[in-house]
Amino acid sequence: MSYTNFDLVEVRTIGADHKSIYARRSIPDGTLLGCFDGEAMVAELADLETQKGTDSFFWRQSVHLRIVGTQLLYLLPVKEPDGVDYLNHNCRANARVEDQLYVYAAREIAAGEEILADYRTFNLVSEDIPCWCPEPRCLI
Could you list the residue range(s) of the whole structural domain that residue 37 is in?
3-121
Instruction: Determine contact, residues 61/76, Cβ cutoff 8 Å.
Output: yes
Residue 140: per-residue pLDDT? 75
Question: Stretch 92-116: mean pLDDT, rounded?
Answer: 96
Alpha-carbon torsion (120, 129, 84, 112), positive or negative:
positive
pLDDT for 127 beyond 80: no
10-40 tens-digit pLDDT = 999 998 888 999 999 999 999 999 999 999 9
Q: Residue 131: inside a domain, yes or no? A: no
Q: Is residue 130 part of a domain?
A: no
Within a domain: 47:
yes
* Residue 56 is assigned to a structural domain of this protein: yes
Specify the number of domains making up the chain.
1
What is the rounded distance in angstroms from the CA atom of residue 57 to the CA atom of residue 20? 16
In a domain, 28, yes or no: yes
Report DSSP state, residue 16.
T
Look up the CATH number of the domain holding residue 101: 2.170.270.10
Banded pLDDT at 125 (limits 50, 70, 90): confident
The DSSP output letter for 27 is: B
pTM exceeds 0.95, yes or no:
no
